[in-house]
Amino acid sequence: MTMRRLSVFNVTSLVIGFAFLYLPILLLVLYSFNASRLVTVWGGFSTQWYGALFRNEALMEAAWVTLRVAFLSATLATVLGTLAALALTRYGRFPGRTLFTGMVYAPMVMPEVITGLSLLLFFVAVDFDRGFWTITLAHTTLTMCFVTVVVQSRLMTFDRSLEEAAMDLGAPPLRTFFSVTLPLIAPSIVAGFLLAFTLSMDDLVIASFNAGPGATTLPIKIYSAVRLGLSPEVNAASAILIGIVTLGVISATLLSKRSVLRSRRNAH
Amino acid sequence: MMERSLTRRLSAGLVPAVPYLWLGVLFLVPFLIVLKISLSDPAVAQPPYKPVFEWSDIAGFFGGLDLENFTLLIEDDLYFRATLSSVRIAAISTLLLLLVGFPIAYGMARAPERYRALLVAAIILPFWTSFLIRIYAWVAILKPEGLLTQALMAVGLISEPLDILNTETAVYIGIVYAYLPFMVLPLYATLEKMDDTLLEAALDLGSTPWRSFWTITVPLAMPGIIAGSLLCFIPAVGEFVIPDLLGGSETLMIGRQLWSEFFSNRDWPLASAVAILLLIVLVVPIVIYRDVEARRVETQR
């Protein structure tokens, strides 16, 4: 095969494409250090909005609720999603499989307004008070489908003979799962968890439908602040979130790269 | 031996049953409830709808239903226009996404192999940052005195402030920006696997680059084009945040209509009927997407 070469057109489209993706985010972070209250007019460097942010108790409270919901729902979603992925790849044709795959794929493309509304109406029908738990259950339902897809694609590509060897040597199914299957699919489970966590932290629409008087999440707070106009505090909050996410993604990438290198070294 | 087959049978039953039950209760049942409530009457109460049936009363379930909300949806052409306008905005956005996404995916696929993983990571990274925040970033850019106007005035391209925020143009920019990774990644996945010798053969036989692009690259990239387009089109039709923050009051979209029926007008039955309408519009693309996705997963084996 000949070498693929980048043409001028290819390089230009990559540069413009990535500038388009990253400039708005960089500007947002830059203007969080703006001394002026007018978000789009540069008035000198300042970190005052970060101070204001940490003194804003309502916002801090919402951030805490958001983190708790994200952690709990991502944990539940990881367990349920891994089970669903195992069911789809290891258990062949169980009754109602078609309905099951439908229910796994549908929530991912379903408009959020529909998912949010339907869950809310369900919680009202069974008389479940809206608040922390309703948001958690709603997020679990949405994000478990993403975990399923991530774990499923790993289960599909891995070497079944390792599992079969363990079984032939007399390991019971549960033991085989925990000592062979689980370590092999662990990276995809971690990736699924992180995806579920981020999706939950990010969600406005489903949380808005299912939030109660006791529990408001950060995106709901940010949304209502944005509706009133631009606010430098929102810029500061966004910059912090972007920083956390960037660090998380970079460290996850490095970690997975190291584990790949290590397993390659062991193989030699 | 007995014990082992017992645990095996138990796990064979439990592993699918737990997620099945979860989705059944929290996805399927809520859906049926939406359908039911869309057929009931609004009430000034808490919750603001009159249940058509008590849980124990099956006969009443069929007795009290009416199509009043749907008649209203048909009679009031607001919903019809909102549906049409959502489909139109989503279709135009998908086309724009293809135009913007294809050159990027193509460039990524032609980049030296050692950079490709990095480029993919760079496309995904913005997706991990909050959707709401990324849309908010555009408010500051598109405002009349915003950063885009400042930049263009500074280089002398325009003399009057641009008035893009609160127009449909801003909605297109927002959708293209937010959904770009969903378009680029499936395109990249198919373009990366493409066999370059085909293009070389075409060029050797005297085809122009433009012609070989249309007769070779595009047909081979079709699975990616279809997957990316559906992945963008379906959620764009029901989009709420983007038209609400970037669009103007005249930007009609059905997701926004549902939101305002629910939160502003507190008409839950009508909101449910709008949800059913949105679902009817989307059922065909969702089914196609599910088939495409299932086939892709199967071929991975």
Non-local CB neighbours of A5 within 8 Å, separated by 6+ positions = B110
Q: Could you report the per-residue pLDDT of A149-163, keeping only the tens digit for each?
A: 889 888 887 777 888
Contacts of A140 in chain B (CB under 8 A): 22, 26
CB pairs A-B closer than 8 Å = 256
Q: B291 or A13: which carries more pLDDT confidence?
A: A13
Tally of structural domains, chain A: 1
Query: Would you state the pLDDT for residue A2?
Result: 43
Nearest residue in B to A22, CA atom: B126
Examine the pLDDT at B4 and tell me if it is beyond 60. no
Tell me what the mean pLDDT of segment A196-201 comes to.
89
Does any domain span residue A129?
yes
Ordered alpha helix ranges (H), chain A: 8-30, 48-55, 57-90, 97-109, 112-125, 132-157, 160-168, 173-176, 182-202, 205-210, 218-227, 232-267
Domain that holds residue A168: 56-267
Does any domain span residue A47?
no
Q: What percent of chain B has pLDDT over 90?
A: 26
> Where do we find the tokens 């990644």?
B185
User: Which pLDDT band, with edges at 50, 70 and 90, does A260 fall under?
Assistant: low
Q: What percent of chain A has pLDDT over 70?
A: 92
User: Which pLDDT band, with edges at 50, 70 and 90, does A165 fall under?
Assistant: confident
> Where do we find the tokens 């991975």?
B300
What's the rounded Cα separation, in Å, for the pair B155 and A86?
58
Least confident of A91-100, A105-114, B62-71: B62-71
- B75 to chain A nearest CA, in Å? 22
- A53 to chain B nearest CA, in Å? 16
Nearest residue in B to A149, CA atom: B297
Q: Could you report the per-residue pLDDT of B41-71, keeping only the tens digit for each?
A: 665 445 666 554 444 444 444 445 667 777 7
Q: What percent of chain A has pLDDT over 90?
A: 28
Nearest residue in B to A10, CA atom: B107
Q: Average pLDDT over chain B, rounded to whole? A: 82
Examine the pLDDT at A125 and tell me if it is beyond 60. yes
> Do B107 and A201 count as a contact with CB atoms less than 8 A apart?
no
> Do A172 and B4 count as a contact with CB atoms less than 8 A apart?
yes
Nearest residue in B to A16, CA atom: B104
> Do B140 and A141 count as a contact with CB atoms less than 8 A apart?
no
Contacts of B227 in chain A (CB under 8 A): none
* Crossing angle (nearest 10°) for helices A57-90 and A218-227: 120
* CATH classification at residue A99: 1.10.3720.10
Among B122, B132, B240, the residue with its CB nearest the CB of A202 is B132
Q: Could you report the per-residue pLDDT of A7-52, keeping only the tens digit for each?
A: 888 899 999 999 999 999 999 888 888 887 776 778 778 888 888 8
Q: A41 or B99: which carries more pLDDT confidence?
A: B99
Contacts of A100 in chain B (CB under 8 A): 16, 19-20, 23
A96-105, A124-133, A136-145, B110-119, range with greatest mean pLDDT: A136-145
H-run or E-run covering B123:
helix B113-128
Best residue in B128, B200, B263 for a mutation probing chain A (most A CBs within 10 Å): B128
What's the rounded Cα separation, in Å, for the pair A104 and A85?
10
Q: Could you report the per-residue pLDDT of A182-198, keeping only the tens digit for each?
A: 888 888 898 899 889 98
- A28 to chain B nearest CA, in Å? 6
Among A28, A94, A137, the residue with its CB nearest the CB of B137 is A28
> Do A1 and B197 count as a contact with CB atoms less than 8 A apart?
yes
Nearest residue in B to A230, CA atom: B140
Among A80, A137, A249, the residue with its CB nearest the CB of B128 is A249
> Do B132 and A219 count as a contact with CB atoms less than 8 A apart?
yes
> Do A106 and B290 count as a contact with CB atoms less than 8 A apart?
yes
> Do B137 and A103 count as a contact with CB atoms less than 8 A apart?
no
User: Which pLDDT band, with edges at 50, 70 and 90, does A6 fall under?
Assistant: confident
Query: Would you state the pLDDT for residue B232?
Result: 92
Query: Would you state the pLDDT for residue B61?
Result: 47
Nearest residue in B to A79, CA atom: B19
Q: State ipTM.
A: 0.83
Query: Would you state the pLDDT for residue A145?
Result: 93
Q: Could you report the per-residue pLDDT of B155-202, keeping only the tens digit for each?
A: 878 877 778 888 899 999 999 999 999 999 999 999 988 888 888 888
Domains along chain B?
86-253 (1.10.3720.10)
Global confidence as pTM: 0.84
Query: Would you state the pLDDT for residue B1?
Result: 42
What's the rounded Cα separation, in Å, for the pair A137 and A215?
14
Tell me what the mean pLDDT of segment A172-189 comes to.
85
Query: Would you state the pLDDT for residue A264?
Result: 59
Please count the other Cβ atoms lying within 10 Å of the Cβ belonging to residue A231.
17
Phi-psi region of A208 (alpha: psi -120 to 50; beta: other; left: phi over 0): alpha
Q: Residue A3 gets which letter from DSSP?
A: P
Tell me what the mean pLDDT of segment A241-259 comes to.
75
Does any domain span residue A17?
no
Does any domain span residue A203?
yes
Best residue in B20, B98, B297 for a mutation probing chain A (most A CBs within 10 Å): B20
Examine the pLDDT at A268 and tell me if it is beyond 60. no
Q: Could you report the per-residue pLDDT of B10-33, keeping only the tens digit for each?
A: 667 778 889 999 999 999 999 888
Contacts of B258 in chain A (CB under 8 A): 113-114, 117
> Do B23 and A103 count as a contact with CB atoms less than 8 A apart?
yes
